[in-house]
A and B are shown apart, each in its own frame.
Chain A
Amino acid sequence: MFRLLQIELFKIFSRPRTYIAFAVITAIIFLVQIALRFSGREYMDLIMSGVKETFEVPAEEALNGYLVCYIVLNLLLIHVPILVALVAGDVVAGEANMGTLRLLLTKPVSRTRLLLIKFLASSIYTILLLIWVAVLALGLSVLLFGTSDLFVAREVDSNIIAESDVLWRYFAAFLFAAIGLLTVTALAFMLSAFAENSIGPIVATVCIIIVFTILTQMQIPFYDETVKPYLFTTHMLGWKGFFYVRAEEGVTVDGSIEDFPLIVKSGLILIGYAALFVVTAIWYFRKKNILS
């Protein structure tokens, strides 16, 4: 099994397209960091506009590595799923397209095991991509901008989290983001198992993510009440929940999370979706006629 996993990983990492995602992420994060380095003040004015009527805005102090990471994650975690689809959507359909799938299935390995190994290999790629995001978005931002308290702007209020209370939240947020991205991996993987060439599942995954993300963020009451609670993209935002804190008389409670059960619920829904996608892929693939 380990040998098969090694082979699948070799296949993934020997393709140039695998590194497109790493390059795109590197470019986006650098661009954001450069922009914030040179015009961070204007951006801070925007995100602190909710409080600037009442308070003096400490833009320079508030712009630090932790905030830069939060901004990057807000931008990136919508787009990383699209990059995940590039590999996960190709992992089965790509072989069907190249005509190597039938050859692969002549090996004494069950289809279920083969598919699970392919999913595991795709998941490893996804996790490595997320680790790369963490290294650049958090590690590099902290090196470039230093650390301080974290300012989190929300629609109804703003949270300031003490510097000493921030880092664990990032670890938790990245862990949650991993669950979200693995759900997308599972979706692209399932579509890949249905298809005979990799373009279809990649484009289909990207389209699903775009449509669901629009529905999640549109804030139209009809969709908010009917569709939104069931979209996995709604629950993928759960990583932000680790940065929503409780307060007593306006004072943040260190180590607190405003609604932890809601985050757990979102996490379980995502895991449920991921399991459903993988099981559906296996169910379909087991009875699929492999003609190429």
Chain B
Amino acid sequence: MMQKTLLLILLASPLLLEAQSADELLARVRARLEKVSDYQASGKMKTNVAFVKAPIATVKVFYKRPNKLRINNESGFSLIPKGSFNINVGNIFLSSGDFDVIDMGLEQKTGLRVIKLLPRDDESDVVLSTLHVDPRLAVVRKARVTTRENGTYELELSYGRYVDYGLADKVIFSFNTKDYKLPKGVVFDYDGGQKKNENKLPANRKGRVEIQYSSYLINKGIPDSVFL
């Protein structure tokens, strides 16, 4: 009898997940995130932008609700992309303000629920957010946010030990880059008299920052001075 019940649950589980409305699923996602009022995370940050060569940085990421986020390099300095406060998933809900939810259903390949958030405020910088939500764990696995002023950015999140808080072990933040422009005469490059390759930079205008977190300190309190 017990086996039959389990089998029934297993067979019915995709249907149950589908049956869960997008609003309910989002509410579960937000409930996880709301367990966290602040955190301090340690990790390694890798930057991949066509016009920047930088070492892998040992970073500390500080977050405080509702939208304070700071990334500190522990051993030097890093170039932090503008809009990087969006590496915190909760910010997607915050920056969208009040929104309408469009349920796109389950993605066949990944089993993730695709939900679009349309901000109701016409003046909102965010135009559209597309979330790929893991319906079992109630966490955002992937997000794509289109803004008016700052282009489109994407988040890919992998979870591990801190999934209960909706905090990722690894975040990949992709963003649009602007042109690399330096005023003439600021630097005189050494080229050994060789002809310059004017098209040296690749056409790829996307930048990528990858943070691999090793640990989180959650809800221990962080002074506001950290974010100044």
Contact B190 A244 (CB under 8 A): yes
> In the docked arrangement, what's the CA distance between A173 and B54, Å?
20
Query: Which of B4-12, B78-86, B215-223 touches A?
Result: B78-86
> In the docked arrangement, what's the CA distance between A154 and B56, Å?
20
Contact B79 A58 (CB under 8 A): yes
Dominant secondary structure of chain A at its interface with chain B: mixed
> In the docked arrangement, what's the CA distance between A198 and B63, Å?
68
Contact B47 A262 (CB under 8 A): no
> Closest CB of chain A to B91's CB: distance in Å?
16
Contact B79 A51 (CB under 8 A): yes
Contact B181 A158 (CB under 8 A): no
> In the docked arrangement, what's the CA distance between A247 and B202, Å?
14
What number of A residues sit within 8 Å (CB to CB) of B? 58
- A–B Cβ pairs within 8 angstroms, 7 of them: A56-B84, A160-B53, A160-B54, A235-B192, A249-B46, A252-B54, A262-B192
> Closest CB of chain B to A225's CB: distance in Å?
7
Contact A249 B193 (CB under 8 A): no
* In the complex with contacts A49-B181, A250-B47, A153-B187 CB distance below 8 A: yes
B51 at the interface (CB under 8 A from A): yes
Q: CB within 8 A of A58: which of B78, B188, B189?
A: B78
B48 at the interface (CB under 8 A from A): yes
> In the docked arrangement, what's the CA distance between A228 and B44, Å?
43
B109 at the interface (CB under 8 A from A): no
Q: Which residue of A lies closest to B55 (CB)?
A: A162
B129 at the interface (CB under 8 A from A): no
- What is B's interface to A at a CB cutoff of 8 Å? 46-56, 73, 75-82, 84, 175, 177-183, 186-196, 200-201, 207-208
Q: Which residue of A lies closest to B80 (CB)?
A: A56
In the bound complex, residues from chain A placing their C-beta under 8 Å from that of B180 are 50-51, 156-158
> In the docked arrangement, what's the CA distance between A163 and B190, Å?
22
A47 at the interface (CB under 8 A from B): yes
Dominant secondary structure of chain B at its interface with chain A: loop
Q: CB within 8 A of A56: which of B82, B191, B201, B207?
A: B82
> In the docked arrangement, what's the CA distance between A247 and B195, Å?
21
Contact A155 B182 (CB under 8 A): yes
> In the docked arrangement, what's the CA distance between A240 and B188, Å?
9
> In the docked arrangement, what's the CA distance between A155 and B82, Å?
22
A238 at the interface (CB under 8 A from B): yes
* In the complex with contacts A55-B79, A55-B81, A153-B182, A252-B192 CB distance below 8 A: no
- What is A's interface to B at a CB cutoff of 8 Å? 46-47, 49-51, 53-58, 61-62, 74, 148-149, 151, 153-163, 165, 216-217, 224-225, 228-231, 234-235, 237-241, 244-247, 249-252, 254, 259, 262-263, 265-266
In the bound complex, residues from chain A placing their C-beta under 8 Å from that of B175 are 54
Contact B193 A250 (CB under 8 A): no
In the bound complex, residues from chain A placing their C-beta under 8 Å from that of B77 are 58, 61-62, 148-149, 151, 160
Q: CB within 8 A of B193: which of A160, A235, A246?
A: A235
Contact B73 A49 (CB under 8 A): no
Contact B55 A149 (CB under 8 A): yes
* In the complex with contacts A58-B77, A61-B76, A158-B82 CB distance below 8 A: no
In the bound complex, residues from chain B placing their C-beta under 8 Å from that of A156 are 51, 180, 189, 200-201
Q: Which residue of A lies closest to B192 (CB)?
A: A262
Contact A50 B51 (CB under 8 A): yes
* In the complex with contacts A53-B179, A61-B76, A250-B53, A157-B201 CB distance below 8 A: yes
